[in-house]
């Protein structure tokens, strides 16, 4: 599947947001090994968020790989360009 650069940036943003959500939950709930642990609801919520992050990150990596292959650019260069566009959107690419 062909991707354009803007799609790569949006996929990475979505993965980053999902990662942020996982971090927020972990911070909010505390460690699962704490006394009393997490409730079933907390565990389910965390696991759902973690799976979403994993799936979105995999989609972003796959899109970067396909884009790099189609464009003839090194994968790491495309990945760096995407990260820069995500963290510095005003600069663009």
Question: How many Å apart are CA 32 and CA 53, to the nearest integer?
Answer: 19
Between 16 and 33, whose confidence is greater? 16
Per domain, the residue ranges of the chain are 5-87
pLDDT tens-place string over residues 46-57: 999 999 999 999
CA distances from 89 to 31, 56, 86 (A): 34, 20, 6
The b/e string for 33-70 (b: 16+ C-beta within 10 A; e otherwise) is eeeeebeeeeeebbeebbebbeebbeebeebbebbbee
Whole-structure pTM value: 0.87
């Amino acid at each position: 599947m062909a991707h354009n650069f803007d799609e790569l940036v949006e996929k990475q943003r979505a993965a980053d947001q999902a990662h942020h959500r996982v971090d927020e939950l972990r911070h909010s709930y505390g460690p699962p090994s704490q006394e009393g642990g997490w409730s079933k609801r907390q565990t389910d919520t965390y696991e759902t968020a973690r799976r979403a992050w994993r799936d979105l990150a995999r989609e972003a990596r796959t899109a970067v790989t396909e884009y790099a292959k189609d464009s003839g650019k090194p994968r790491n260069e495309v990945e760096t360009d995407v990260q820069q566009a995500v963290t510095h959107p005003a600069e663009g690419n």
